């Protein structure tokens, strides 16, 4: 059994040499309304500033003028592929306000959302990112209402990083609740493919809808196999408000166990008008990777 030290509440663990703090947060419908609201952007920045890498889900599609076929929020950005309201807001409220140097990597449009990776280049080296190819998806990923969604409605966003001796791949995920068991089976396929193509240290993180009505204890799936280590207990609550569900998780396999320090936590200081999810984080060592 994996021993974990859980730290609920507002604070992340102290920043220590030789460790890396990786976080995941579904910032509910993160788009024009929040990006132009100083109160909510200040709250978002206060949460984000404590981590070295943050995987964000549910980013509204703000850069579609550089993407064919997407009408949503078509007037939200100036059309340049490197600009968006969200990026500019994060530069102002996160980097400028706190003297940070975070970099921002947006995924391509996938259905009506994007993924976003935020990382500190002083703590970690970014080595590239792309949407994982879904072999069963017969339509463009930006098709908002596809007839065929392949293995997952929104396939993962894969990114490779290195920090010290720890080189690893993140698979950021936002599953679709209505077909969640099918989604999680598809996710296991993508995980195995990422390990085969990259290296053993692959970490799933994101909003997996992995609890309550969307994933029941009796449900059988490959990702529940003994080789998979789930961080964030089933009894935890990663939601804001009246719900009590552990939707958000980290998942990895044995090769990553030696790099995981056992420390993880959930931020409880997320205002309800910012998101219906709390941020989750986990700590990894950068000193002892064997690969």
At 77 the pLDDT is 41
Run means of pLDDT, 10 residues per run, the chain, 291 residues: 51 72 96 91 97 95 49 43 74 96 90 91 95 81 72 91 94 87 86 83 92 70 82 91 89 92 95 95 86 51
Query: 5-285 has which fold?
Result: Deoxyribonuclease I; Chain A (3.60.10)
At 3 the pLDDT is 43
At 200 the pLDDT is 74
At 58 the pLDDT is 93
For residue 92, which of 38, 28, 25 has the smallest C-alpha distance?
38
For the chain, give every domain's residue range: 5-285
At 14 the pLDDT is 57
CB 64 within 8 A of CB 70: yes
Q: In the Cβ-directed half-sphere of 172, how many Cα atoms lie within 13 Å?
A: 31
């Amino acid at each position: 059994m994996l021993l974990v030290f859980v730290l609920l509440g507002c604070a992340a663990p102290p920043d220590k040499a030789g460790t890396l703090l990786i976080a995941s947060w579904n910032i509910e419908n993160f788009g024009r309304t929040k990006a132009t609201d100083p109160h909510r952007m200040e709250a978002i920045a206060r949460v984000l500033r404590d981590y070295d890498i943050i995987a964000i889900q549910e980013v509204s599609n703000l850069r579609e003028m550089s993407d064919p076929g997407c009408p949503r929020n078509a007037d939200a950005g100036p059309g340049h592929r490197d600009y968006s309201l969200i990026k500019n807001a994060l530069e102002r409220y996160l980097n400028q306000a706190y003297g940070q140097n975070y970099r921002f990597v947006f995924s391509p449009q996938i259905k009506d959302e994007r993924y976003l990776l935020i990382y500190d280049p002083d703590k970690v080296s970014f080595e590239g990112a792309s949407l994982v190819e879904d072999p069963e998806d017969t339509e463009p990923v930006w098709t908002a209402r596809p007839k065929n969604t392949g293995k997952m409605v929104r396939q993962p966003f894969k990114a490779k990083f290195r920090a010290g001796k720890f080189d690893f791949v993140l698979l950021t995920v936002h599953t679709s609740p209505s077909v969640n068991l099918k989604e999680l089976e598809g996710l296991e396929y993508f995980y195995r493919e990422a390990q085969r193509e990259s290296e053993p240290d692959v970490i799933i993180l994101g909003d997996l809808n992995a609890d309550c009505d969307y994933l029941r204890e009796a449900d059988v799936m490959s990702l529940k196999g003994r080789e998979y280590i789930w961080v964030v207990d089933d009894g935890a609550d990663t939601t804001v408000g009246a719900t009590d569900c552990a939707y958000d998780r980290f998942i990895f396999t044995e090769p990553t166990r030696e790099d995981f320090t056992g420390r993880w936590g959930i931020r409880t200081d997320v205002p309800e008008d910012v998101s219906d999810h709390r941020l989750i984080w986990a700590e990894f060592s950068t000193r002892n990777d064997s690969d």
